[in-house]
Amino acid sequence: MKDPEVGLAAVRAWNLSHIEEWAGQPGNRIIPCQITWLQDPSIAAEEVRLNAERGFKAVSFPESPAKLGFPSVHTRAWDPFFQACQETETVVCLHIGSSSDVLSTSADAPLAVVNALLYVGAPITAVDWVYSLIPVRFPDLRIALSEGGIGWVPSLIDRLDHNMTHQAYEPTWKGIADSPADVLRRNFWFSTIDDSAGFEQRERIGVENILVEADYPHADSRWPDTQTVLHEQIGMCPVEQVEMITHKNASRLFRHPLPV
């Protein structure tokens, strides 16, 4: 909004409505996720702390704020916000396309090209955030990538490890004990709708960092066959891994008790 005071009031009103009327419905089945005030990282940090007291467990944030005209993640401008998220254990949720930008090949490429490349935003974001050193400065920060899939994670781990053997590429990483791949596994959670190849590589990714989602009612969803497809992809896994991927990981990440 052109008037920042009205804009901030609207953000606060939306968050209050969400926690009281939407996530506050009986049954405790909705994890409260707030929206961010982007005009001022210090105010955004204050809002995160206040909303944590109200019961919010997560916050939505653009994967690349620079594309929206705000400071990039490679500056330290957002440190007050991330400090607040770390202190309150508020999960930072990055959704593909949340910077109003999706990858395509040319202006006249059909929609099928855009849809097939949709997941590419997730590894781009992961690399950008790892080398921003945000998760290095805030080692307890929890970052969830939404709708990005998981099949790309093992290849990215390999590439990050490869980069570490070529120090000319790595002046950013000098003096840091953990490797970029270690930071990726420690600070990031990866969500998928439909990813057979990714589940085959679950041990390489880290079973404890995999989440599943349905994306109902969007066109990319596997609904109404969500349960069937998921069973086909992970039904052969050990029971404890199935439980982790389908619900226990999410419960632990968002500190959300499992409904009876």
Q: Which residues lie closer than 8 Å to 21 by C-beta, 6 or more apart?
A: none
Helix (H, G, I), strand (E, B) or coil at 70: coil
pLDDT digits (tens, 9 = 90+) for 172-197: 888 899 999 999 999 999 999 999 99
- State the pLDDT confidence band at 169, using cuts at 50, 70 and 90: low
pLDDT value at residue 33: 97
Q: Which residues lie closer than 8 Å to 39 by C-beta, 6 or more apart?
A: 4, 7, 8
Residue 75 lies in a domain: yes
Among the listed residues 193, 200, 183, the one whose alpha carbon sits nearest the alpha carbon of residue 137: 183
How many structural domains compose the chain?
1
Question: What's the CATH code of the domain at 34?
Answer: 3.20.20.140
Domain range spanning residue 158?
A: 4-253
pLDDT value at residue 114: 82
- Please give the residue that has the higher pLDDT: either 103 or 84: 84
* Alpha carbons 201 and 256: distance in angstroms, whole number: 27
- Helices 180-187 and 121-131 pack at an angle, to 10 degrees, of 110
Residue 208 lies in a domain: yes
* Alpha carbons 217 and 57: distance in angstroms, whole number: 23
Residue 258 lies in a domain: no
pLDDT at 102 over 80: no
pLDDT value at residue 168: 62
Residue 161 lies in a domain: yes
For residue 175, the tally of other CB atoms under 10 A from its CB is: 4
